[in-house]
Amino acid sequence: MAEHAKGGGEHVVSVMGSMPPVGPAGSATPGFFHSLFSLRTVAGAAGLAPALILLALSGVERFDASAFGVLGPEIRDQFHLSSAGYVSIATLTSVLPLLVTAHVGYLSDRFNRVHLAAISALVWGATSVLTGLAPATAVLIAARLAGGIGYTVNTPTHPSLLSDWYAPRVLPIVFGWYLVAYSAINLVAGPLAGAITAVANWRVAFVVLALPTFAFALLLLRLREPARGESLGLAMRREDATGVIRSFRELASLRSMRRTWASALFFGAGLVVLVSLLSLYFQDVWHYGPATRGAISALFGLGGLFGVVLGGQLGRWVVASGRARHLPVISGLMFLVGLAGGMFLLAAATSGPMAIVAVLIGSIAYGGWSPAYYTQMSMITSPAQRGQAYAWSTIWFSLGGVLASPLIGRIGDVYGQRMAVVALAVLVVVAGALALWISPVLQRDVDATREALATPV
């Protein structure tokens, strides 16, 4: 439904709900940075506890992912793997479980999402411990595959819960600070993994970093699950959720969603492999040990933290000004300018410090695209299908990683890690161009979703 305005100083009704006028007279929500001092007010009746607990669970999962990336050379040597073998294990075991995310999304639309998230966290904690104890490659692969369940459930479930707990007009702020804190945790994940390995060994690092998971999973079980559409004043029944095939067809009917999936395919091919490749790059090209690689991981997290803050502020601006169609432009430019640019610089680096600067540039974009993306997805999908909407995007993202990982690992073995980084950068360029292509059709799909929900204005 198109926006309507009544008079110069009255409220504007848009897809994000009733909003005060923007511009010199005020804005719909506090500025992103200023909102830090009024988060309780921004959070509303739901309070901060839901976001904080989900953040904690995502953070401890990040410990595991960061450790497997930072400690890649040690794991590769322990199990006598080639670079291609390690990259394939790291990538495929993290993304293969995501190929069933659509079914997980369906479960999150039909069953209690709080319980699903807590169970997945407990499973992930157990498999992280098993990773540290793995006596053979086969056990390592099995542990990593099972551990992928954590991310598989988090991907559709966490954003869906946040979208129902918090009002649409403050979602850019909620997602922004949620991702800021997530990136802040990443600052300590890599250094912790590297430090524990330097003092003990890589196996101890996985066991120690898994322990907080169990406490946070129990805290999550104390939360009440919000009704589907609660933040919109709706109360959709779980039975209203559509099946996997029907949801796919309905989502695919949206041009903005089809273009999002196309971008996700190439972005996944470039990004999933990069996380595993960085550690091998700094080991093989610059001969950095685990402690130094852990520090570089912290720098990557610092850049990502700044990127999320920047992305959250940009997302808040475009939503508050009624220009939601610019959300994919934010993501596209982050891909093209920051991430691909940083990766090309990394491939061409003539010194270790130059390579580290390249990582910092890329990390800003790595964090900066996500607040706009999550807000965009919440705007074009019905609350009854949000779990599956996030899930299908993740499937295309994961499929890109699955297809690219063996090829990129082989390029690294044959032509060196620099050429592998160049190949990844080209894939990210394609993803960025496709993300920009979403903008012309986004507002039409947002309005169509609004009309389908028949929200009173």
What pLDDT is recorded for position 15? 29
Are 105 and 204 in contact by the 8 Å Cβ rule? The answer is no
pLDDT digits (tens, 9 = 90+) for 135-155: 999 999 988 888 877 777 777
pLDDT at 391 over 50: yes
Are 175 and 374 in contact by the 8 Å Cβ rule? The answer is yes
**35-44, 146-155, 208-217, 445-454: segment of lowest average pLDDT:** 35-44
pLDDT at 455 over 60: no
**275-279, 365-369, 373-377: segment of lowest average pLDDT:** 275-279
What pLDDT is recorded for position 121? 87
**Ordered structural domains, the chain, with CATH:** 42-228+242-453 (1.20.1250.20)
- The pLDDT confidence band at residue 234, using thresholds 50, 70 and 90, is low
pLDDT at 232 over 80: no
pLDDT (mean) for 284-302 = 84
What pLDDT is recorded for position 101? 72
CA gap 241, 264 in Å, rounded: 24
Measuring CA to CA, which residue among 363, 392, 304, 402 is closest to residue 90? 402
What pLDDT is recorded for position 456? 47
pLDDT (mean) for 163-186 = 74
pLDDT (mean) for 388-405 = 85
Are 108 and 387 in contact by the 8 Å Cβ rule? The answer is yes
Kindly give the residue spans of alpha helices, DSSP state H, lying in 166-254. 171-199, 202-210, 212-220, 244-252
* pLDDT mean across residues, the chain: 80
Out of 24-28, 120-124, 131-135, 278-282, the most confident range is: 131-135
Measuring CA to CA, which residue among 277, 255, 229, 236 is closest to residue 420? 277
What pLDDT is recorded for position 258? 96
pLDDT at 204 over 80: yes
pLDDT digits (tens, 9 = 90+) for 294-342: 788 778 878 888 888 888 889 888 888 888 899 999 999 999 999 999 9
CA gap 234, 17 in Å, rounded: 13
pLDDT at 393 over 70: yes
What pLDDT is recorded for position 351? 94
What pLDDT is recorded for position 262? 96
- The pLDDT confidence band at residue 241, using thresholds 50, 70 and 90, is low
Measuring CA to CA, which residue among 324, 307, 355 is closest to residue 176? 307
Q: Which residue has the tokens 């959720």?
A: 241
Measuring CA to CA, which residue among 18, 321, 325, 51 is closest to residue 168? 18
Measuring CA to CA, which residue among 133, 141, 60, 152 is closest to residue 93? 141
CA gap 431, 338 in Å, rounded: 13
CA gap 344, 357 in Å, rounded: 12
CA gap 3, 14 in Å, rounded: 5
Are 394 and 100 in contact by the 8 Å Cβ rule? The answer is no
pLDDT (mean) for 223-233 = 74
**6-15, 35-44, 392-401: segment of lowest average pLDDT:** 6-15
Instruction: Express as a percent the part of the chain with pLDDT over 70.
Output: 83
Out of 29-33, 120-124, 174-178, 262-266, the most confident range is: 262-266
Measuring CA to CA, which residue among 453, 450, 381, 330 is closest to residue 3? 450
Number of alpha carbons in the 13 Å side-chain half-sphere of residue 390: 29
What pLDDT is recorded for position 174? 77
Q: Which amino acid is at 370?
A: S
CA 173-178-181 angle, to 5 degrees, is 125
CA gap 127, 68 in Å, rounded: 13
What pLDDT is recorded for position 357? 95
pLDDT digits (tens, 9 = 90+) for 247-275: 888 899 999 999 999 999 999 888 877 87
What pLDDT is recorded for position 2? 36
DSSP state of 231: G
CA gap 365, 222 in Å, rounded: 35
pLDDT digits (tens, 9 = 90+) for 19-71: 333 333 334 455 555 665 566 676 667 777 888 888 888 777 777 777 887 78
What percent helix, strand, coil does the chain show, rounded to 5?
A: 80, 0, 20
398, burial (CB in 10 Å: exposed 0-12, middle 13-18, buried 19+)? buried
Tokens of 363: 């990390």
Tokens of 100: 């069933």
pLDDT (mean) for 95-103 = 71
Packing angle of the helix pair 49-70, 137-165 (nearest 10 deg): 150
